Amino acid sequence: MDRRGQLCVGIDPHPGLLAEWGLNDDAAGLERFSRTVVEAVGEQVAALKPQVALYERHGSTGIAVLERLLAECADAGVLSIADAKRGDIGSTMAAYADAWLRDGSPLAADAVTLSPYLGFESLRPALDLAAETGRGVFVLALTSNPEGASVQHTGGPDSRSVAARIVDAAAAENVRPEAGAEPDLGSVGLVVGATVGTALADLDIDLAASRAPLLAPGLGAQGATAADLRRTFAAAYPNVLATSSRGILRAGPDLRSLREAALRTGAELASAR
């Protein structure tokens, strides 16, 4: 982020977008779409975030494309975030961690998104393996879908909301063992929707204190602007890795148009600081 800015481009090969690009909704179209995004913006943005479900829908051939995409991200020197939203318990969670975070795994990414709704500690296998391999995780904390509030805004016995307790747990993982031993940001990130509005203030959540990288989907096509992000995240704005998918992808398949769309969005994010 220091070198390349605060933009993460989501790689979301929806059937409609594939059609807009003149590509078939099959593995070949998926591969062309994915490689085009890496070629267009892989050397100028902080991260690329493939939506795993849109590869899984093509079965084994889609997963094979995803494996190649993650390897191409590494070759291009751009961080990869597998948007898989995995969450389970025990040996199953350990298997998910092994798939996405183990050195040598064909699906190894620089980070993976996780769902903590079986309890934050259920994520322990992934938290520990990410720390061991130098990777990261982004834990769902406060999403902007209407249904999310029914769980995330709910208070527990201590009157703290579920979302606030997830943030607290991530902050505990990111505590420095000693002064100067770690960079300003920890490796346990949080997913917080770009369009959550006043929810952070309403729920008394201090994101800046968590030392968490903040993956913020919703920039662009979902309605959030860089100015909105600055207002929503306030003091935590420098920690925000803002995600735009359709807002940039619709500029394709022309490489120059994709690059220009990413550059414009990145410049807007920088000007909001």
Q: What residues are labeled active site?
A: 85
CB 67 within 8 A of CB 35: no
Residue type, 171: A
Nearest Cα to 48, choosing from 3, 82, 4? 82
Nearest Cα to 174, choosing from 214, 201, 204? 214
Q: How far apart are CA 273 and CA 256, in angstroms?
A: 26
Task: For residue 259, give the 3-state DSSP assignment.
Answer: helix
Residue type, 126: A
Residue 17 structure tokens: 């977008």
Residue type, 139: V
Q: 């995600």: which residue's tokens? A: 243
Determine which helix (DSSP H) or strand (DSSP E) holds 230, and give its type and residue range. Answer: helix 226-233
Alpha-carbon torsion angle 53, 48, 226, 136, nearest 10: 90
Q: How far apart are CA 135 and CA 126, in angstroms?
A: 10
Residue type, 234: A
Q: How far apart are CA 30 and CA 190, in angstroms?
A: 28
Nearest Cα to 81, choosing from 196, 242, 247, 266? 242
